[in-house]
Structures are given as structure tokens and as C-alpha cells.
Structure 1
Amino acid sequence: MIDVLLRTLPFFALIGLGYGAARSRFFSEDATAALTKFVFYFALSAMIFRFAATLSFGELFDVDLLFGYLAGCGVAYGVATAVAVMRGQDGPTAAVEAQCFAIGNVGFLGLPMMALFFGEASIAPMMLILSVDLVVFSSLIVILINLGRGNGITLATLWRVVRGLLANPMILSITAGLLWSGFALPIPDPAAEFLSLLAGAAVPGALFAIGASLASKSAERVEVALWLSFGKLVVHPLCVAIGVLWLMPVDPYAAKIAIAASALPVAGNIYILAQHYGIAPQRVSAAILISTVLAVLSLPVVITWVSAL
């Protein structure tokens, strides 16, 4: 446990450095937005493309893991939705809270951290988990919000979903990498070096950007945010464990990756959606902040647990 904690500390230290730089106003909100855009569209995309270009579709598409992870996330989604309804929340708010329960910071934090603890073989299951989060749940929340507002599933809603998927650089990078691998295309040495240099900025840039973005997050609606943080850090990994170990048993190695990935803190892009639709942005903001702080201790516990499976 102590060894795992010490190995995760550099990740959270970089997040803390970004937080301190932004909190002291040495790093402005405009600078944070620019850094996040660079990481999201360039550095992280290069890293994901390099990973995907080494995989075959068969390595990535693990049917058991797909349905086991989906089952676990579905249970967590159901728990969050049921509790929100019992608290008298409307449909769109329940959907946003359920998203906080089920979607973690897989792209910016999860990929490099799982590779550190579980080796490069973790890349394939992490890519699948990232794809599920981006394609299934990013689409689901848009549909649920529109249904909850009485708009129904119109062509405009479906186009909004499709357009969001097509514009997501993570999805494009995964697709391009798999196509590159599928056609067995070589990566010329200059291009490989270029990708390596650009991808090298992904991890430190992403972690620093996470911390800097947290500096602008508020701590309003703390009681609800604590519940959402508990759901993300504890309920979600337990539900995914049920999914991949019992409902749809998967390879033990893949199960470890899925459970550990589900213990990541609340993803930052949920705040963007909440703010865009005007649905509970304060509680989402606080949940991101609180879950990231608590993950310093909770994530090593989960990684230690799954390592012993």
C-alpha cells in the first residue's frame, strides 16, 4: 500500500503544482484553457494514436470486458439515478449526477497511471474503457438531458451526438491508430520521432492542466459533492468489480485494469456539459475537486486491492 501510494504521488504532485500555479494566479485561466486545448488536441492525441497504432482491433475489442464494464457502469448509473430521484431531483439533474458516478478521468490521468502500475499491456483494455466512456456515456447524457426536458429524441439531438463524437480527438486518434495498424502501415522514423516528442508532453501537460483547472472549481453544494465523490471512488469500482468478476467474468488481468480505472476521480468534461446545459454545475465542480483530492488516498487502496486478485 505504501509503495503504491509513493508511486502515485508524482502524478498528484504534478496536479498540485498546476493547482498552485493557477491558484496563485501565476497561471491564468486563459493559460489553463490554452494548455488544456494543446494537451487534448495535440499531445494526448499523439499519445493515443501511438498506442492504438500498435494494437489490432482484436486486441482492443474484448467482448467480455466490454459488456462486463458496461454492466458495472449501468449498476452505478442506476444507483446514482435512484438516489437522485429519491432526493427529488429532476431527470436532467439525475443524469448529470449519474455521469459523475460513472465517468472518471481516464484519458488525462488513467492511461499513464495504469501503464505505470500494470505495464503496457494495460493499454488495450484502457483504450476500450475510454471508448465506452466517450461513445456510450457521452452520448447517453445528451439524450437523457433532452428527454428530461421534454424535447424527445429528434434528428437535431442525434446529430448533436454524432457531431460531438466526430469532433472528439480521442475517438479520432483511436480510430486512426487502429486503421494504421489494420493496414500494417509503417511509421517512418521522422514521423515516429515527431509523435514521440509530442506524446511526451501529454502526461505532464495533462496532469498540470488538471490541477490548474481545479483552481477555478468551487466547493458549493459540498454535501451532494461528497456523495458524488463517494459514488465515483467507492461505489463505481465496486459495481464494476461485480460486472467483470461476477456478471460477466473476464480475464483476471483485464478485470484488474477495469476496476482500477473505475476508481479514478470524476472527469473534468462533465463540468463542461453541466455548464453548457445549465444543470448543477456547482455540485459537479465540487465533485471534481473533492474526488481528485480524495483519490490521492483512495486510488492506491483500490490498486493495492486489485493487484492482489
Structure 2
Amino acid sequence: MDTLNQTRVTEFVFLGLTDNRVLDILFFVAFSVIYLLTLLGNILIIVTVVFTTRLHVPMYFFLRNLSFIDICHSSVTVPKMLEGLLLERKTISFDSCIAQLFFLHLFACAEIFLLTIMAYDRYAAICIPLHYPRVMNVRVCVQLIFALWLGATVHSLVQTFLTICLPYCGPNIIDSYFCDVPPVIKLACTDTYLTGMLIVSNSGTISLTCFLALVTSYLVILVSLRKQSTEGCRKALSTCSAHFMVVALFFGPCIFIYTRPDTSFSIDKVVSVLYTVVTPLVNPLIYTLRNEEVKSAMKQLRQRQVFSVKSYS
């Protein structure tokens, strides 16, 4: 409590992506379009899965949850970033900064766990198909999602606790466009070496361990595909390659940033944009453009909607 009482900083100032006003406007337009497409794309996937009976299987149940997480994840940072691009002085209150930090880690960790679960789901479907209905039934899927959110909440609470327990009594300039643990704790009026190591043992270890588990599962799947038919092999490869593209785009930046919190590079902002802005947009594109089943379901849903409109007229 004494440490908390020492907090005198009431707001933080972001340096943002650039100090060039022309670039700010260009970035505002580009990221506004990306954010709008992210919302529309992910909402479209959720609606398609919910209203298409044949997609009520574990793979698309998890995909629907991924779309929901992507909407939340991008909404934590992008609106504030867009606001900052229009303002000369980009500020955020201390409480809002901590809230942004909490929800950023909540949804990012939830996505890490969900991508790992999705890899396990593909492993079970391809490598042990006879046992798949028992291994990935409705009850198991719901339990996995519950465990996912529980684990993400615990992780986020730990990160937030580590951050607010430090005293902030002077510097308040964050060299970024959003609040995250590494740039915020650098402003603390105390030695943060131990906190940095705890961050690595938490965020870094989670990202790296889940990534290695994902790579291992996909390697096992690739080996098992030699026993599949040509058509089955092609379909499995298409699905797994789409999943792995998402994994690489999301896990790469996370591992790059959270396994070295005590050091910073000029490229950090670009890397952050990848997993907070770009990846939530790329996910629906990858899962729809490369998935014939989803595209077919969207087409049928659109035709059903058109038919219902005509019937009313």
C-alpha cells in the first residue's frame, strides 16, 4: 500500500508513431480503414458460424471465439491510437493506462491460448480421427474456453499487479502509442530489473512455450499426412497452413517484445503495429479466403438473406 501511495503521476504522454503531421494523417486514414475492415470481417465470421448449422463443429466454434478476441484485442489499442494521430499532445490518464494494459494482456494471452487449442484440435482431427468425437466434444470445447479465459485473466492480473506496485513519481513520456508493461515500468522511480525478469518468466515464457507446442503439433500433423489420401492431405495442409500463418504473425511479435523487456529497439513500434493492428485484420482474411467451407457458408447466408428480402417485398 505504501508503494501505491507514492504514485504521483496522473497521466502519461505518448510519443506516438511519428512526429510528422502529414504521416499522422496518412496513418489515421490507413488505420481507420484497417480497423473498420477488422470489425466487419470478424463480425461476418461470427455471424456466418452462428447461423450456419454445418459449421457448428469444434474448429469453427474456436474460429468464432478467435474472431471475438480479435475484435476486442484491436479495440483496446486502435481507437486510442487513432485519437492520438489527430492530436498534437497524446495523453492518457494513469487509471486508463493501467486498464488498457490489463485488457491488452487479457486478450493477447487469450489469443495465444486459443491458437494453441486450435492446433490441438487440428492434431486430434487429423492424427486420431476415430477418437476425435470423444476428445473434442461440446463439453470439452466449453471447458477449454473457460480454462483459456481463466488463464488469461490470471496472467493479466499478474502483469497489472507488477506494474502498479512500482512507484511513478516523475517521468511520464511513453515511447509508444499504447500502454504496455515494458515501456511503462521504465518510467518507475526504482530499479525494475526484478520486475523485468518476472515479465520474461510470465509473458515471455507463455509466448515461447505455446509457440513451441504449436510448432511441435504441426510437425506431428505433417508427418501423419503421409498416410492420408491425396484429397485429405490437400485439405489438411490448406487448413494447417492457414493456422500457421496466423501463428507466425501473432507469436513472432509477442516473442520479440516480451522476451527482452529491459531493452528496446527503434523497430519495436512497427512490430507492435503488426500484432495489435494488422493481425486482427489478417485472421478473417486467412480463414475465409483459404477456406472453401466458410466461403460457401457466407454465399448461402447471403442468398438466404436476399431471398427473405424478396419475400417481404
TM-score when scaled to structure 2?
A: 0.30
Q: Which has the larger radius of gyration?
A: 2
Higher RCO (CA < 8 A, seq sep 6+) = 1
